[in-house]
């Protein structure tokens, strides 16, 4: 069903939208004078977490790592670990499968960053408020450097990226092409960014390749602010929804979550990697489904950096999950415990530490530029 302006759900004028092709509305003189200040703080903080993926002072993609013989991440992260899949592999093939799985994960993060960049740019086409537009443009710039960085890590370790998994590809396509601001913001700033925060925290804590650990931290210094944009939307929107509107957003969020939970890392999303270690993907899928019990999912989601746990907490803290759907999520996670944890997200402390490091690097850069300027004088 085609989306129209009638499908927009807007409770605060800073999220007012126009049709993507209505540029005339963007050059109305009065519009320029109606800039909200809601995003000024996170826009101005951009300078604190600036980093350049092509500058070795921030990250050096020439740093070597023995991909053939060393696990890039803890092998427990590999789909199939602890199942008949793992038992069937030689020690060398266990390394190979783990690193192929890592190659696939890094590639899909790259595709996700490309989607985030495109979506942020698309928000500039529909958000009427100049402040909201500036934030979206700023995020597009930051997502662009993530695209560059993940291209470089994939290039340095594997040569080229793997194709996007079908579920992620279809989800990103829906979000980028949507005309609805609420769907873009809930889908990208809360759902996908929630997944990203969990993924980066996991890579930071369980990566064995120092390049993965460093890149995860750098990306988190940006993602923490992108996540805040979604939180601002939730604070200004969720309390003012009528029942029908809230149900629409809540049900859509559950639909996306459940689809990602059971399909995002499923072997049928990455059939080609199993051939490379002599395994039939359908057999791997069977072993995966046998081990993917609700009890196992629940056990995994007790880990603070589990990507889906972070996602559920994001939705819960934003008020999207209510008693209507809380039982759906409770099959996998203790919702009361999650509520008691408060607003702090798993990646916040990692991002904060990374920002302090970036401030030091950037202050040195400014000092060097000042010295260069004095020398020129």
- Decide if 369 is inside a domain: no
- Does some domain include residue 372? no
Q: Has residue 366 been placed in a domain?
A: no
How confident is the model at residue 371, as a pLDDT?
A: 46
Q: Is residue 117 part of a domain?
A: yes
Assess contact for 100 and 162: CB atoms under 8 A: no
pTM here?
A: 0.91
The answer to whether residue 376 scores a pLDDT higher than 70 is no
In the block, tokens 């800039």 appear at: 35
For residue 77, CA distances in Å to 199, 265, 368 come to 11, 11, 42
Q: Could you tell me if residue 285 is inside a domain? A: yes
Within a domain: residue 375? Answer: no
Q: Provide the domain count of the chain.
A: 1
Residue-wise pLDDT for 3-21, tens only, equals: 766 778 888 899 999 999 9
- The domain that holds 303 is classified in CATH as 1.20.1260.10
Q: Which domain holds residue 82?
A: 5-361
Half-sphere exposure of 352 (CA within 13 A, CB side): 6
Mean pLDDT of 79-89: 89
| Separation CA 106–CA 359 (nearest Å) | 27
Confidence of residue 366 (pLDDT cuts 50, 70, 90): low
* Residue range 129-155, pLDDT digits in tens: 999 999 999 999 999 999 999 999 999
Q: What CA–CA distance (Å, rounded) separates 348 from 228?
A: 11
Residues in the chain: 377
113 belongs to a structural domain: yes
Q: Can you tell me the distance from the alpha carbon of 105 to that of 198, in angstroms, rounded to the nearest whole number?
A: 13
Residue 48 pLDDT: 85
Residue 367 lies in a domain: no
């Amino acid at each position: 069903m085609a989306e129209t302006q009638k499908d927009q759900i807007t409770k605060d004028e800073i999220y007012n939208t126009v049709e993507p092709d209505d540029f005339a509305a963007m050059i109305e003189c009065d519009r320029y004078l109606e800039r909200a200040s809601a995003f000024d703080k996170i826009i101005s903080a951009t300078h604190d977490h600036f980093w350049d993926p092509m500058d070795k002072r921030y990250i050096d993609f020439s740093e070597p790592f023995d991909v053939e013989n060393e696990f890039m991440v803890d092998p427990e992260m590999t789909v199939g670990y602890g199942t008949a899949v793992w038992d069937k592999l030689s020690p060398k093939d266990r390394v190979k499968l783990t690193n192929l799985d890592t190659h696939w994960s890094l590639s899909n993060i790259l595709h996700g960053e490309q989607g985030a960049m495109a979506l942020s740019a698309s928000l500039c086409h529909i958000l009427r408020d100049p402040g909201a537009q500036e934030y979206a443009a700023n995020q597009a710039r930051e997502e662009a450097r993530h695209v560059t960085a993940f291209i470089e890590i994939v290039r340095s370790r594997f040569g080229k990226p793997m194709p996007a998994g079908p579920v992620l590809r279809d989800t990103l396509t829906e979000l980028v092409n949507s005309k609805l601001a609420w769907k873009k913001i809930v889908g990208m700033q809360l759902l996908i960014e929630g997944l990203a925060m969990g993924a980066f925290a996991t890579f930071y804590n369980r990566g064995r390749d120092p390049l993965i650990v460093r890149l995860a931290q750098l990306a988190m210094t940006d993602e923490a602010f992108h996540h805040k944009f979604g939180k601002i939307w939730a604070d200004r929107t969720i309390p003012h929804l009528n029942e029908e509107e809230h149900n629409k957003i809540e049900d859509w969020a559950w639909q996306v979550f459940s689809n990602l939970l059971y399909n995002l890392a499923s072997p049928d999303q990455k059939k080609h990697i199993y051939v490379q270690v002599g395994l039939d993907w359908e057999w791997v899928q069977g072993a995966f489904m046998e081990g993917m019990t609700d009890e196992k999912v629940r056990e995994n989601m007790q880990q603070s950096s589990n990507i889906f746990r972070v996602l559920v907490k994001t939705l819960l803290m934003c008020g999207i999950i209510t008693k209507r759907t809380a039982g759906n999520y409770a099959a996998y996670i203790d919702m009361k415990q999650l509520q008691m944890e408060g607003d702090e997200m798993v990646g916040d402390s990692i991002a904060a530490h990374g920002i302090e490091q970036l401030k030091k690097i950037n202050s040195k850069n400014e000092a060097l530029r000042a010295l260069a300027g004095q020398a020129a004088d």
